[in-house]
Amino acid sequence: VFSLTILISSFLLFLVQPMVGRMLLPSLGGTPSVWNTCVVFFQAVLLLGYGYAHLAAQRLTDRQYVVIHLTLLASVCLVLPIGLLQDWAVPTETNPLGWLLGQLVLCVGLPFFVISANAPLLQRWYGRVTADHQDPYFLYATSNVGSLGALLVYPLLIEPAMGITAQTYLWLFGFLALSGMFVCCGVLVLRAQTLADAGMACAGRASLPRPNSDGYQGLSWPTRLRYIALAAIPSSLMLGVTTYITTDVGSFPLMWIIPLAAYLLTFILVFAERKLLPHAMVVRAVPFLLLLMPVVTLMDMGVSPLLMIAVHIVTFFFVAMLCHGEMSRLRPPAKQLTEFYLMMSIGGVVGGAFNALVAPVIFRDVIEYPLMLVAACLVMPRLQLTEATSADEGRLELRDLMWPLGLALLVVLTYGGLEWLGVENRSVMGVVVFGVPALVCFATLEKPLRFAMCYGVLTIACATLLLERETLVKSRGFFGVNEVADDTKFGFRTLINGRTMHGIQRYDEVESPEPLSYFHRLGPMGDVFQIHELPRGARVGVVGLGIGSIASYAEAGQQFDFYEIDPVVYELANDPRYFTFLASCKAEHRVLLGDARIQLAAADNFRVAPSDADSVGESPTPLSRYDLLILDAFSSDSIPTHLLTKEAF
């Protein structure tokens, strides 16, 4: 009964996450920040659930615990089925983070909180009513099997076959079934306590004491901090991998399930009774995979995107296996089970919040991902040291500092030498400049602290060298990193988001810039305006601003509306210090901030009268009144899938 209940509970817990993400992603342009924020929210609520389970286990009797939790389960039914607040519009000119968190709190906060407490709660109850209660950790592996099952079933079966409304009712029916299973578990717990109370009464003793009075000893602070660190690194890396894939490959729904599934799989493997991947083998494999990352992926040497994704996912999986495997090896006795899960949850929140909330504020670029890879190296010394190793192995010495300094000098001299020789092939330069130093890093494997510092030098070098552009300004917001850079070799200025150029302008074309790239008059965009000869007074809608290249096709007397979801892009495109397409536009034009899909749908329902068109101001134009509508919204090199689907648009 307990195994089946925890399986259903975990299935529902991770079924609601992609379901809610599916509701929210189209409203905010499918940006990775939406899912990253959702993950942090779910981790924070999971922490609250684990905290509630821990405090209740220490302060309440089993009878009180059962009654309170069943009451909470009943209260969840009052807010089901799950759904977004339709009357709360997405902010268009400010960061939508507050709107996103508010929707999550009001729509899914209570159900997720109650279900998140189920795993430690059921394991605690199982330990109270069964004879083999000393090691209930196998139930945690069962819990993660249910979680992984939900992540696989949702994109393969549920999402293709059911609309979002039907999905919410499916979750409602599953929750009702879970509540029934919980009643059965609660009855077993109450029966066990009744029998225990009766036995003690016959023996002339007091009733069963509260759980916190049976000699419970909390974890030491060094142990707590270690658990938190080991949980934070994989949590942060999971979001880093997700951001990389969805930014540099393409924005299509549910792509983030792959890193999350790999993350859950590590828990299943490390907490299983039979270890399929020995911990020692994982520790030996991690340094090789880490060295493969900067050499193959950070340098962008024309490697296949699928291969790059595979390298990232496999490396993340093994690093998570290393950290979670160490947590499993050092797990405390069953009495400290709820506190162990509480520390694990705190670490998950710390890692997720660092990526989603802290890093976008303090970093101009997405450096939290490689930074966490270096942090993974820093936890390796303690993992690789054995009890027979002396305490000096973990101490920083002067010789340890000489290795990274020497490696940095080697990289700089090698790079300078190749430039002096006139070598311009980036692949050749990458192999020589970073491949050889990577081999040097292998010499430091016996001293993991040296390896961590050398790996940090190699990562920094890969991120800063071999750039063929000069950055003028770089700005990071909710929708990613936008960079304005000059190509000094060819005299171009570009707007770059992730690894994709969203517009090019020549230095010497300020008054009447010529559209370049696929906006060129001899390219596909030129063909569009040549085929559709627009008369004076024509209205043109453009989804996606970029640097405003399409504005060069505008003629006097026409009206151009640009829809842009990212305020940072508008600020850069409208600044004549960087780009002048908007400033030199011949037609009347406006830039409407927000998701074009939502704005066009709202305007089409509102139906602005033709006589009032000029007085609308910043209100969007109804879709039916455009003579030409151009979809130029890109995430990386692909159009977001939710802009191509009939259901979303």
Q: The domain spanning residue 519 has which CATH number?
A: 3.40.50.150
Whether residue 498 sits in one domain with residue 397: no
Residue 445 located in a structural domain: yes
Residue 547 located in a structural domain: yes
Residue 220 located in a structural domain: yes
End-of-domain residue from the set 356, 384, 412:
384
One-letter amino acid identity for 207?
S
End-of-domain residue from the set 364, 384, 404:
384
Residues 6+ apart with CB under 8 A from 622: 600, 603, 604, 606, 607, 608
Average pLDDT over residues 231-258: 77
Contact between 433 and 465 (Cβ < 8 Å)? yes
Residue 493: is its pLDDT beyond 80?
yes
H-type alpha helices, 2-136? 2-24, 32-59, 62-76, 97-116, 118-129
Whether residue 432 sits in one domain with residue 573: no
Contact between 116 and 48 (Cβ < 8 Å)? yes
Whether residue 342 sits in one domain with residue 233: yes
Residue 472 located in a structural domain: no
Residue 469 located in a structural domain: no
Q: Rounded to an integer, what distance in angstroms lies between the CA atom of residue 127 and that of residue 125? A: 5
End-of-domain residue from the set 434, 464, 494:
464
What is residue 609's predicted lDDT score, i.e. its pLDDT? 33
Residue 538: is its pLDDT beyond 60?
yes
Q: How many CA atoms lie within 13 A of 447 on its CB side?
A: 19
Q: Which domain holds residue 407?
A: 391-464
Pick the closest to residue 625 from 537, 530, 531 (CA basis): 537
Residue with more model confidence, 544 or 611: 544
Residue 455 located in a structural domain: yes
Phi/psi for 301 (5° steps) reads: -95, 40
388 class by beta-carbon count within 10 Å (0-12 exposed, 13-18 middle, 19+ buried): exposed
What is residue 177's predicted lDDT score, i.e. its pLDDT? 92
Average pLDDT over residues 325-345: 82
Whether residue 454 sits in one domain with residue 399: yes
Pick the closest to residue 3 from 130, 110, 111, 114 (CA basis): 130
588-593 and 559-564: which strand pairing? Answer: parallel
Residue 107: is its pLDDT beyond 50?
yes
- For the chain, what's the residue count? 649
Torsion of CA 191, 193, 198, 202, to 10 degrees: 150
Q: What is the pTM of this model?
A: 0.76
Residue with more model confidence, 528 or 639: 528
Contact between 186 and 59 (Cβ < 8 Å)? no
Q: Rounded to an integer, what distance in angstroms lies between the CA atom of residue 497 and that of residue 288? A: 30
Q: Rounded to an integer, what distance in angstroms lies between the CA atom of residue 593 and that of residue 599? A: 9
What is residue 22's predicted lDDT score, i.e. its pLDDT? 81
Residue with more model confidence, 574 or 419: 574
Residue 457 located in a structural domain: yes
Residue 613: is its pLDDT beyond 50?
no
Q: Which of 87-96, 230-239, 267-276, 338-347 has the highest mean predicted lDDT (pLDDT)?
A: 230-239
Whether residue 263 sits in one domain with residue 240: yes
Pick the closest to residue 603 from 589, 592, 588, 611 (CA basis): 592
628-631 and 539-543: which strand pairing? Answer: parallel
Contact between 241 and 313 (Cβ < 8 Å)? yes
Q: Rounded to an integer, what distance in angstroms lies between the CA atom of residue 237 and that of residue 259? A: 9
Residue with more model confidence, 612 or 475: 475
Q: For the ranges 283-287, 469-473, 542-546, which has the lowest average pLDDT?
A: 469-473
Burial 498-533 (b: 16+ CB within 10 A, else e): beebbbbbeeebeeebebbeebeeeeebeeebeeee
Phi/psi for 493 (5° steps) reads: -120, 130
60 class by beta-carbon count within 10 Å (0-12 exposed, 13-18 middle, 19+ buried): middle
Confidence class for position 12, pLDDT limits 50, 70, 90: very high
Q: Rounded to an integer, what distance in angstroms lies between the CA atom of residue 224 and that of residue 233? A: 15
Residues 6+ apart with CB under 8 A from 427: 301, 302
Mean pLDDT, the chain, integer: 78
Residue 212 located in a structural domain: yes
Residue with more model confidence, 542 or 308: 542
Whether residue 435 sits in one domain with residue 364: no
Find out whether the peptide bond into 81 is cis, omega within 30 degrees of 0: yes
Whether residue 402 sits in one domain with residue 337: no
Q: Rounded to an integer, what distance in angstroms lies between the CA atom of residue 118 and that of residue 114? A: 7
492-497 and 480-487: which strand pairing? Answer: antiparallel
What number of helices (H) and strands (E) belong to the chain? 22, 8
The CATH number of the domain holding residue 331 is 1.20.1250.20
Whether residue 430 sits in one domain with residue 488: no
Q: Rounded to an integer, what distance in angstroms lies between the CA atom of residue 62 and that of residue 85? A: 37
- Structurally, the chain folds into a number of domains equal to 3
Residues 6+ apart with CB under 8 A from 256: 21, 32, 35, 242, 245, 246
Q: Which of 195-199, 461-465, 516-520 has the highest mean predicted lDDT (pLDDT)?
A: 516-520
Residue 261: is its pLDDT beyond 60?
yes
Whether residue 314 sits in one domain with residue 209: yes
Whether residue 608 sits in one domain with residue 459: no
Measure CA 319 to chain center.
17
Whether residue 379 sits in one domain with residue 456: no
Whether residue 402 sits in one domain with residue 253: no
